[in-house]
Chains A and B, each alone.
Chain A
Amino acid sequence: MKRNLILCLCICTSVMASSKIAIAIKVKGKVSVIQKGSPEKQSLKPGRALSDQDKILTGKDGFAAIMYLDDKTVVKLLGNSDLTVAGNRTGGKINKSLDIKYGKIAASITPQKGNEFRIATPTSVASVKGTELTIASDPSTGDSFTLLEGLIEVTNSFTGETIEVEQGETAVSTPEGSLEVHETTTDDLAGFEDADVEIPTQELRFEVEDEDGNIKEIIIRFQ
């Protein structure tokens, strides 16, 4: 009996010792965080750990980037955004989801290895396995999901209609129930300039040895 208790305690401690799931890696302007169950709004600083159901609010010029602890999935919030980060810690992984009330979000999601990354807004639900995308959400006008890489499924919550969105496409989902996909234009990415959602920089690396035998590296970055 005593051994059972000890084993239970170990397991519970292992599972519940911490509910940390992500960390704020970049914060600019006015950004605050509200912990689950707490009415208090605190200023978000870089390096702060975030737990399941923490709500992040950005001011007009605010910007925040958060990174999940298990796989470096990055979520960026632009100005005037309201986002709740969620994650269930199971084993060595975190089952992640985002609940966007409104605002502009950019995410670079590492492949989830069988798990689904859900993004919910008042109008839509997106199912993501691994991708890079931007989301602009407004409860009164709807959402736009722009895929920079990968594949997602978007469901309009009012009609239940589901469509696949591929790289280079933007899905627009409205509270009136329409759900359409079009080829992405620069207008779809307007407002996301601060999120650096351009195609990532490529690198070429060469190692060279000088006369003294020191190894030096030449890095050529190109886009």
Chain B
Amino acid sequence: MMIMKKNFIYLALFTSTLFSQSGVLIMSPEPNSEISGNDVLIAISTFGMKGVNPDNIQLLLDGEDISDMAYIDEEMVTCLLDQLDPGLHQVQLFLGERGPKTWSFTTTLREPTLKYSGRIRSSSSMDQIDNQTLNISRVMVDFKGSAYEWLKFKTNVKLTTQEKALYQPRNVLGLELSLKEYATINMGDSNPRLSHFTMNGKRIRGLNANFKWGWFNLHVVRGGINRAIEGDLKKAYSYSIDTDDEGTKFLSLSRNGYTFAQNVMAGRLALGRGEKFQWGLNFLKARDDTTSVNPILNDATIIYSPSASGLVTELDSGLVYTIGELGTKAQFLEGKDWNGDGPKDNLVIGTDLGISLFNKRLRLDGELALSLTNTNIWGGPLTLAALDTLMDDSLDNKLSSFDLSSFPDPADYEKILIINPNMAPLVPIDINAFGDNATVDLTDAVLSMPSLAYRGRAITNFYGNYLALEYSQVGPEYNSLANPYLVKNKREWSISDKFKLLQNRLMLTLGYKHQDDDILTIVEKVKSQNTLSLGLNALPGPGLPTLNFTFRSIDRDNGIDELVQLTDTTFSDNRENTHTNNFMVNISHRFDLVWSHALSGTFVNVNKTDKFNDRDTNFVDPAMSINVMNFSLSTRYNFPLKTSINITSNHSELSIGPGERGNQDFLTTNFDAEYPLLKNRILAKGGVNYAQGSGLVDMSWLGFKGGIRWKIFDRFSVNTQGEFRSKETSGVKKNTVIARANLEYAF
């Protein structure tokens, strides 16, 4: 009986396998396709078909039997043909007694030499928030293509109504040409990246070319960082009242509110291929063009009023005058005496190294850069004689204790860098590290150079372990005009490890980061921050909830331990030493209950405490506590509707002034829905949101939003959305209206 049952199961399995028949799949070339006549592959899959006998398979091309040239087995038939004449071809496949499977394709002499595609997008937005209205329109044109297999081109054009002569360019006009892998040339606007410290994505208008030849790499950038801005004509001048040799009063005019055109030339010469190995030498030279700002703007205006220095005859107090009207009653100060920012000069040299090993699972990189910056070049370069008397009056051919007898004349290097007393720093290294009576260790002097920046990083990714070690230091005077967003006066090191356990079902993250400003040897009060972080993520498996947990502990100290006594009874308390715990837990679960749902709950707690307990009662306490709870539910229905509900509550307790604390509660709720129509050509979206706040500020708002994304043709679509929000704050009602529309056409 047992044997019979087994036999029955085997038979059932066997027969089900036998009769699970699939059809012939044409894999290559696609029916009615147009392909190159070189290396034509004819491929057919008979996967899943039963009863296929390879010996009975016959493959014909244009009526000629090519079975002998083909690979044939039970599941596939392939035949690679070196060359086919241009024209229409027909394939016939005979599978035993079954009728032939027949299809055609066309071969051409060669692939098209010119390919292109593009996209034009326009967008308009109107934001009316309270009583402020902002209208912005943009047009973006992306056009790209290739020709002759060696040339690729790409444009980047963005035009916006935000383009104004008062600001740096908002329009983007860029063209990129690529000549195989040998050269990439960008003209117009581009965002070159030479290295982390020298130039790292700031927009440049000019030329940005990258050449590669084997192990040799050259990256050259030349163009403008800033364009010249004359500034607001109402704020272009300030004045004082001076007296000339004949005792006549006049207005002494100084230019304000301008920006010099700033030009840059930079390069990176590197040895290496791809990311496996790169060793680069970087340099950057940027200088403000002092001739780019017009000292005389006849249409600019001032409001004249006499001062303690006297009054200028024929000018009426309180009246607005254009500069052109002032005539001889005004004189223009020279650039070096202007009140506005001085023109700058900047030189950066550096080197970087990057190594990737074991299929990029081990990455080592580092960089070192030194900058020299002049914050005001109006006075021109310093001569050797002027350098001699810079720090004392004696003509002893020495700068402090530094012997200048064999020192080159700075004026000889004016084209590279204008060196004068406005250098920051004046001397890049502590000169006390030199000479027989050196008081500072040379290594310490080098590592603490104020205009030096360096970093190193090692990342490994083995066995589910992502370990990262990083160190970086940026001196307080390090400056690259082409990299203005780099945080200065900061030293930090960190170690973090993220590892996967239980077959990726459990992920643990551990990290520690130390930051301080203890770079210069003269720093007495070191600001520091230590952050310890821990993360745990559990992914038990399909159908089970996921759990995310993170904890961060942050200690912050500004190095000041004592009060500053201002008077006998008044003290200034500048001490900062706080501890912050940041805790977050999130549980998410995807499940099917009538419909498909994604449920998520999050709790966040931030608790900051002051470590000093001897504060004055009127001290503005930095301690605070924040609790946030969030709940969200997204649902996909059996019909195309998708909805989401989001509820967030926030409770904060914090200092609101000397010796005072307060509470603020906030509740926000959102409901959004989207529904596709006309086979997904139209996607309709809508939503409602409500918020209420109480405590320090009582407020509420109710908002509605809606919109559609309409794919009018396959490559032409329109996207519109609007939002209305009615807000009431402390009894005052204000409305917000936001409207946006986008058009997109691809070709």
Known: A72-B25, A91-B20. A4 touches B539 (CB 8 A): no
Distance between Cα atoms of A3 and B461 in the complex (Å) = 53
A4 touches B6 (CB 8 A): yes
A sample of 15 cross-chain residue pairs with beta-carbon separation below 8 angstroms, ordered by A number, consists of: A7-B7, A7-B14, A18-B74, A23-B76, A47-B43, A60-B274, A91-B48, A122-B461, A140-B356, A140-B360, A158-B507, A159-B535, A160-B546, A162-B590, A193-B144
Closest to B145 in A: A193
Tell me the smallest distance from the CB of B469 to a CB of chain A, in Å. Answer: 13
CB atoms of B25 and A69 under 8 A apart? yes
Taking a contact as CB atoms closer than 8 A, the residue among A1, A8, A139 that contacts B461 in the complex is A139
B47: chain A residues at CB < 8 Å are 69-70, 92, 94
Judge whether A155 is part of the interface by a CB distance below 8 angstroms: yes
- Tell me the complex Cα distance, A212–B500, Å: 72
Q: Is A199 an interface residue (CB 8 A)?
A: yes
Q: B487 in the interface, Cβ–Cβ < 8 Å?
A: no
Nearest-CB residue, chain B, relative to A140: B363
* Docked complex Cα distance between A59 and B714 (Å): 35
| A30 adjacent to chain B (CB < 8 Å) | no
Partner of B146, one of A11, A71, A186, A193: A193
A142 to B715, CA, bound (A): 31
* Shortest distance between the CB of A145 and any CB in chain B (Å): 18
Binding site for B on A (CB under 8 A): 1, 3-4, 7-8, 10-11, 14, 17-18, 20, 23, 25-26, 45-47, 49, 60-61, 67, 69-72, 80, 82, 91-94, 101-102, 122, 125, 138-140, 155, 157-162, 164, 175, 177, 186, 193, 198-199, 202, 219, 223
A70 to B119, CA, bound (A): 36
B322: shortest Cβ distance to chain A, in Å?
46
From the candidates B11, B363, B538, name the one contacting A160 in the complex (CB within 8 A). Answer: B538
Task: Establish whether residues A223 and B466, one from each chain, have CB atoms under 8 Å apart when the complex forms.
Answer: no
Please indicate the chain B residues that have their CB under 8 angstroms from the CB of A71 in the complex.
25
Q: Check: B78 CB closer than 8 A to any chain A CB.
A: yes
7 tightest CB-CB pairs across the interface, nearest first?
A160-B537, A92-B48, A47-B78, A7-B10, A69-B47, A69-B45, A46-B41
Pairwise interchain contact B27-A72, C-beta atoms closer than 8 A: yes
CB <8 Å contact, A20 and B20: no
Contact partners of A18 in chain B: CB under 8 A:
73-75
A161/B356 in contact, CB under 8 A: no
Question: Which one of B13, B45, B361, B538 contacts A23 once the chains associate, using CB atoms below 8 Å?
Answer: B45
A101 and B43 CA atoms in complex are apart in Å by: 28
Indicate if the CB atoms of A158 and B509 lie closer than 8 Å.
Answer: yes
Q: Is the CB of B75 within 8 A of A139?
A: no
0 or 1 for each of B269-289: is its CB under 8 Å from A? (1 = yes): 000001000000000000000
Q: Are B10 and A4 in contact (CB under 8 A)?
A: yes
Q: A223 contacts which of B16, B154, B539, B715 (Cβ < 8 Å)?
A: B715
* Besides A23-B78, A186-B154, 15 other A-B contacts (C-beta < 8 A): A8-B10, A26-B41, A45-B80, A47-B43, A47-B71, A69-B25, A69-B45, A69-B47, A69-B76, A70-B25, A122-B461, A158-B507, A158-B537, A186-B144, A202-B714
Residues of chain A contacted by B83 (CB below 8 angstroms): none
CA gap between A1 and B32 in the complex, in Å: 54
**B22 at interface, CB cutoff 8 A:** yes
In the complex, A46→B78 CA distance in Å?
9
From A80, A160, A164, give the contact of B539 (CB < 8 A).
A160
Q: How far is the CA of A223 from the CA of B119 in the complex (A)?
A: 13
Closest to B540 in A: A160
Q: Quick check: A160 and B548 within 8 Å, CB to CB?
A: yes
Residues of B within 8 A of A92 (CB): 20-22, 47-48
Q: Mark B110-154, 1 if CB is under 8 A from A, else 0.
A: 000000010100000000000000000000001010100000101
Alpha-carbon distance between A82 and B358 when the two chains are bound, in angstroms: 12
**Which of B25, B154, B359, B535 lies in contact with A101, CB distance below 8 A?**
B359
Chain B residue with the shortest CB-CB distance to A175: B466
- Chain B residues 518-547 with CB under 8 Å of chain A are 535, 537-539, 546-547
Complex Cα gap A172–B24 (Å): 39
B507/A70 in contact, CB under 8 A: no
How far is the CB of B27 from the nearest CB of chain A, in Å?
Answer: 5
Q: Is the CB of B359 within 8 A of A159?
A: no
Contact A3 B7 (CB under 8 A): yes
For B75, give its contact among A45, A69, A160, A175 (CB under 8 Å): A69
Contact A175 B14 (CB under 8 A): no
Q: Is the CB of A11 within 8 A of B548?
A: no
By CB atoms of chain B within 10 A, which of A80, A158, A223 has the most? A158
Q: How far is the CB of B71 from chain A (nearest CB, A)?
A: 7
Q: Are B498 and A175 in contact, CB atoms less than 8 angstroms apart?
A: yes
B residues in contact with A14, CB < 8 Å: 14, 17
Q: Chain B nearest CB: distance from A4 CB in Å?
A: 6
Contact: A11 with B14, CB < 8 Å? Answer: yes
Q: Which of B28, B504, B535 contacts A25 (CB 8 A)?
A: B28
Query: A155 with B43: in contact, given A17-B74, A102-B359, A202-B714 (CB under 8 Å)?
Result: no
Q: With an 8 A cutoff between CB atoms, is B236 at the interface? A: no
- Closest A-chain residue to B146, C-beta based? A193
Closest A residue to B16 using CB positions? A91
Residues on A with beta carbons closer than 8 Å to the beta carbon of B502: none
Contact indicator A157/B504 (Cβ below 8 Å): yes
Check B142–A186 contact: CB distance below 8 A: yes
Query: What is the minimal beta-carbon distance from B639 to any residue of chain A, in angstroms?
Result: 16
User: Chain B residue with minimal CB distance to A160?
Assistant: B537
Considering only CB atoms, which chain B residue lies closest to A82 in the complex?
Answer: B359
Binary CB contact string for chain B from 460 to 487 against chain A (1 if under 8 A, 0 otherwise)? 0100001000000000000000000000
Judge if B3 is at the interface, Cβ distance under 8 Å: yes
Residues A199 and B715 in contact, CB atoms below 8 Å apart: yes
Q: Is B39 an interface residue (CB 8 A)?
A: yes
Q: A17-B74, A20-B76, A70-B22 are known contacts. Are A159 and B548 too (CB-CB below 8 A)?
A: yes
Task: Assess whether B359 is in contact with A157, with CB atoms less than 8 Å apart.
Answer: no
CA distance A202 to B144 in the complex (A): 21
Please give, as numbers and ranges, the residues of chain B lying within 8 Å of A158 by CB-CB distance: 466, 498, 500, 507, 509, 537
B627 at the interface (CB under 8 A from A): no
* Alpha-carbon gap, A18 to B47, bound state (A): 10
- Cα distance A66–B598 in the bound complex, in angstroms: 35
Contact A159 B537 (CB under 8 A): yes
- B79 sits at the interface (CB 8 A): yes
Residue among A4, A8, A160 with most chain B CB within 10 A: A160
Q: In the complex, A1 Cα to B363 Cα: how many Å?
A: 60
| CB within 8 Å for A159 and B74 given contacts A4-B6, A175-B498 | no
Q: Which of B47, B509, B598, B714 has the most CB of A within 10 A?
A: B47
CB-CB nearest in chain A for B461 = A139
Which positions 427-463 of chain B face chain A at CB distance < 8 Å? 459, 461
Interchain CB contact under 8 A, A198 and B498: no
Chain B positions within 8 Å of A223 at CB level:
714-715, 747
Q: Give Cα A136 to B145, complex, Å.
A: 21
> Roughly how many angstroms separate A154 CA and B480 CA in the complex, as a whole number?
39
Please report the C-alpha to C-alpha distance between residue A17 and residue B52 in the assembled complex, in whole angstroms. 13
Query: How many whole Å from A177's CB to the nearest CB in chain B?
Result: 7
Is residue B325 contacting chain A, with contact meaning CB distance below 8 A? Answer: no
Task: Give Cα distance in the complex from A219 to B274, angstroms.
Answer: 45
